[in-house]
Structure 1
């Protein structure tokens, strides 16, 4: 049970909490704790990407709390574009967005890219996702083109629908 704390005037009490986090590889055992990151369809896709991670084709990372629970996840695909690591499927637990976890995750992904001997990171961001694009620009990513993207999404009734969008392509020299 959660209790709400207020001061004597009834205003919520606020404090800053410092919580150490660590970045590690995401594992299949983490997936039940990642339902916040997307639908069951999305999690099945992440599970397939973990098979690719075991084969060395991708890295899939998790930012975890001291209880070892993932609060941010995302991957790097080394086969999507020749000569670059493509950062993709980034997600941060909604309640912890704007706390620096996305930045930490992207920087860890960039270190993995450099560790593979590559010097370019690329990503795609939906055109209407201004908040994410602002983060990527702040981290040094520069737009270089546009491309459509599409994927299947699961509706509340379990039905699948095709989601189509236009993405801005961005890159950063590492």
Structure 2
């Protein structure tokens, strides 16, 4: 058995981190993340990076405070594929929840794509409960650079942060 100690820290994601986040999505996705960092400057969102000892992001995700009144909406959560199921996602979600509490809000929400059973199990373990299903869609960049629309159904989940 091998034991891995990651020594994680959580901080704000910055533009300089995007080059190291290719594991999280296409160049187009990372450009969208960069746009969200501008919204952070306006106080509309928080965008977090979970980093290992080298201060390189191994997980990232945002909290949108404008998506729904009185709620912090977690979105664009991702953990480096090689480090999934190592507790990194738990660290990310708990840090996001703390940011929501720090804003004086007492409720967190997120959507999980149907079929993403691993993520849904994590959210349920962390206390999130399903309350609705909604269609969602986003553009996905193919390896040749073309864009296609990804349409899916998501289960909406909520957690009280009292």
Would you call these one fold, judging by a TM-score over 0.5?
A: yes
TM-score range, shorter chain: over 0.9
For 1:106 and 1:19, locate their aligned partners in 2 and report how far apart those are by CA, in whole Å: 17
**Matching residue of 2:131:** 144
Runs of 4+ in 1 over 4 A off after TM superposition: none
How many pairs are equivalent? 161
Which consecutive unaligned segments of at least 5 residues does structure 2 have?
A: none
Per the normalisation by structure 1, the TM-score is: 0.91
Q: 2:34 aligns with which of 47, 54, 76?
A: 47
Matched, 1:103 2:90: yes
Distance in 2 separating the partners of 1:15 and 1:142: 34
The alignment's C-alpha RMSD in Å is 0.7
TM-score scaled by length of structure 2: 0.98
Written as runs of structure 1 = structure 2, the 5 A alignment for 1:1-174 is 14-174=1-161
Q: CA deviation at 1:127?
A: 1.1
Report the Cα offset of residue 156 of structure 1: 1.1
Shift of the alpha carbon at 1:59?
0.2
Q: Which secondary structure state, in structure 2, belongs to the residue aligned with residue 16 of structure 1?
A: coil
Cα deviation per residue 1:14-63 (whole Å; 9 max; x = unaligned)?
Answer: 52121201000000000000010001111011000000011110000000
**Over alpha carbons, which structure has the higher Rg?**
1
